[in-house]
Every structure is written in C-alpha cells, then in structure tokens.
Amino acid sequence: MAEAQNIPVGSTTAGQIAVAAESTVATRMSAPPSFDVADFPVPHGREEEWRFTPLERLRGLHDGTAVANGAGVKVAVGAPEGVTVETVGRDDARLGRAGVPVDRVAAQAYSAFEQAGVVTVPKEMVLTEPIRIAVHGEGGIAYGHQVIELGAFAEAVVVIDHTGDAVLAANVEYILGDGAKLTVVSVQDWDDKAVHVAQHNALVGRDATFKSVVVTFGGDVVRLHPRVSYAGSGGEAELYGLYFTDAGQHQEHRLLVDHNTPHCKSNVAYKGALQGDDAHAVWIGDVLIEAKAEGTDTYEMNRNLVLTDGARVDSVPNLEIETGEIVGAGHASATGRFDDEQLFYLMARGIPEYEARRLVVRGFFAGLVQQIGVADIEERLLAKIEEELEASVA
C-alpha cells in the first residue's frame, strides 16, 4: 500500500527530438505565415495547430463571424517620462516588423484592427519604473495590435494586465534594439467568460536580452503564442510562464523560439497547476535551431501539477536541430499529480489539508515566481495563487 507515485494521470505527455533537414515546425502549420486572413482556411479542428483548441468556444474569432463592436476592450497606458506612447493607424510603417501571423486568428486580428498602440523607449534610456498597459474587457469583441520598441541599449519593464470580460484577438510586437533589455509581464487575469487569443512576436537585437513572463489565471479560453527570433548574434531570450487552470478553463500556450542567428541563447520554463473538472492546459514548446545558428544554447521545460481528478494536460516539447555546432540543446516535460497519498503524508505530519495543498502549490511555483524580478508582480502572483486555492477549497 501507499506506494510512492509520481505518474502522469489524466494527462498526456509527448516529446520528440527531430534532427531534420528541413523545418517541420514550419511545415506543421497548415498554411504559411501571412498578414491576410484570407490566406488561411477556416480551421476545422484537426489541424496540428488547432487540434487541442475548442474552436466552438472561440466565439467566432476563427471563422470570421466575430465582428468588432467597439465595446471590446479599453486600453490605458501609463509610462514614465521620456517614453513615447502613440495610437496609430493601420498604415504605420512600424507595424508588422517583429513577425508575421502564423494562424487564422492572428491574421484575423491583423486584418481587422483599426488602430494600433505604439510604445517607444528611446535609445539608451534606462527606466526605473515599469510601463503599465491595462487592457480591460468591456464585454464586447475586439481586435488589437500593440508594438513595444526599445532603442539600442534602452532598458525597460512592461506590465500588460488583462482584466474584465472580452472576446479579444491581438498581435503584440516586441522589438529590441542592439544591447536593449526588455522584461515583459503579460498577466491574463480575465473574468470567467473571456476569450483571448494572441500572438506575441519578439525580435531580439544583437546582444539584447528579452525576458517574457506570461501569467494566465482567468478566462474561458486563453490561447497565447509567444514567438522569438533574433536580429543579431549574442541575443538572449528567457520565456517564463505560469498558469493556474480551473474547472472548465482552456489555457493554451504555444511557444516558438526560432534560432535563426548564430550564438544566441534561449531558456523556456513554463509551469502550470490544474484543478477541477475539464480544466485543460496545453503547452507546445517548439524550438528550432536553423542550420546557420551555430553556437546556439537552448533549454525548454514544462512542468504541470494536477491537483484534482478531471483535469487534463497536453504537453508537447519539440526540438529541431539543423546544425550540430551548438553549445547545448535540451528539453523536459513532466506532469505530476498531487494525490491522496501525498495529502495523507503531509497531514500525518500534522499539516492541515488546506495548508498541505498550499505548501505543494506554492513550492511548485516558488522558483519560477522569483525569476520575474518585479516585486509587486511577484507578490500579486503569490496572492493570486492563494486566491485560486481558496476558491478550490470553498
């Protein structure tokens, strides 16, 4: 009895390392990247990039029936002095430089947005306070576009906070000049009904450092697609993510790091906790090391903690290596279960049930939270995790 257990239950975990002559990451998509929604067929759900997503819950974002109604989201930007905050039209030449939409919804967002936000930190400006972008859902449908650009050697922290209720599809671009340092924290703290689909493109300049922290708690369906490529050698990207998937929620994070330039680094670490019936988390971690990207150093990791029965995790790391001249490449994925035996063990040492769950979940996330480096966000995250746990106990 009471066998030690740490097996994936109610989950699937698959991984593969492919050494390919050509990129199957690219060819796995059902259509080539394009800014025009007309270049993508309406997905039916069996495509590789859509097979985990409940299309019927996207409220029409994927098939053209979701029409922006002007009551979608309100965006408020608070930025320190010296930072330029603009709202620009579709024809602004600064849009679309960091990457091209890779699926139907991203292209829909690009084809449908009316105005874009552009936040620019001039070269060599080092901010001591974060730029804060509040995106508050007003209950309607919206398509958005946001550019955040740092000039050479500029340093900034940007916090993008999503709250309220909305059906939102968006593209976000991060453009880092040479030697720039950008930390972006994107918090998805939506109300229960919100649907949020977004592609994040980061273009990391020579010797620049990009840190992305994606935190997903709320929403009915959240599907994010953070992507990184490099504009020069010496670039570094750290992609961290935390999610807490509750009953009925679908939270999907699909990452791609395209090592298209020699001597760049990337480190991906996503962790999620799940609880409740039909909680569904999807993590796709694609790393592509192109033939020309010699000296690449990359690692990606996904860990999931399943707290109750009825939750499901799909975790798929995928590493494609087209050159052997690299420093390192690795990946890991694991799904563990907090089960009755673990609860019994902790309680048999005097720890009350609620405290036992809290201990496990806090411990699970602690190391990752410390990576964020933005004190008020770290505190808010830990408080939010507690809140999620309390909701589950109640």
Partner 1 sequence: MATLEIRDLHVTVEADNATKEILKGVDLTVKQGETHAIMGPNGSGKSTLAYSLAGHPKYTITEGTVLLDGEDVLAMSVDERARAGLFLAMQYPVEVPGVSVSNFLRSSATAIRGEAPKLRTWVKEVKETMERLHMDQSFAERNVNEGFSGGEKKRHEILQLELLKPKIAILDETDSGLDVDALRIVSEGVNRVRETGEVGTMLITHYTRILRYIKPDYVHVFSGGRIVESGGAELADKLEDEGYEAYTKGGASA
- Nearest 10 degrees: Cα torsion 37, 41, 45, 51: -70
Alpha carbon distance, N-terminus to C-terminus of the chain: 30
Q: How far apart are CA 238 and CA 244, in angstroms?
A: 20
Nearer to partner 1, 40 or 338 (CB): 338
Q: Decide if residue 393 touches partner 1 (CB under 8 A).
A: no
Q: Decide if residue 361 touches partner 1 (CB under 8 A).
A: yes
Please identify which residue in 114, 277, 325, 340 interacts with partner 1, judged by CB under 8 A.
Answer: 340
State how far the alpha carbon of 274 is from the alpha carbons of 5, 40, 184, 268, 301, in Å.
Answer: 18, 32, 24, 20, 17
Q: How far apart are CA 355 and CA 324, in angstroms?
A: 48
Question: What pairing do the DSSP bridges indicate for beta strands 236-245 and 209-216?
Answer: parallel
- 375: number of CA atoms within 13 Å, CB side? 2
Q: Decide if residue 347 touches partner 1 (CB under 8 A).
A: yes
Please identify which residue in 341, 371, 378, 382 interacts with partner 1, judged by CB under 8 A.
Answer: 341
Please identify which residue in 247, 291, 351, 382 interacts with partner 1, judged by CB under 8 A.
Answer: 351
Q: Decide if residue 283 touches partner 1 (CB under 8 A).
A: no
Site track 285-314 with partner 1 (rule: CB under 8 A), x = hit: --------------------x---------
Please identify which residue in 78, 89, 352, 373 interacts with partner 1, judged by CB under 8 A.
Answer: 352
Nearer to partner 1, 296 or 335 (CB): 335
Please identify which residue in 23, 342, 380, 384 interacts with partner 1, judged by CB under 8 A.
Answer: 342
Nearer to partner 1, 58 or 385 (CB): 385
Three-state SS string over 271-289 comes to EEEECCCCCEEEEEEEEEE
Contact 105, 169 (CB under 8 A): yes
Nearer to partner 1, 19 or 347 (CB): 347
DSSP state of 309: T
Nearer to partner 1, 264 or 385 (CB): 385
Q: Decide if residue 360 touches partner 1 (CB under 8 A).
A: yes
Please identify which residue in 38, 42, 126, 359 interacts with partner 1, judged by CB under 8 A.
Answer: 359
Q: Decide if residue 32 touches partner 1 (CB under 8 A).
A: no
Contact 212, 237 (CB under 8 A): yes
**Which residues are at the interface with partner 1 (CB under 8 A)?**
1-6, 305, 336, 338, 340-342, 344-353, 355, 359-365
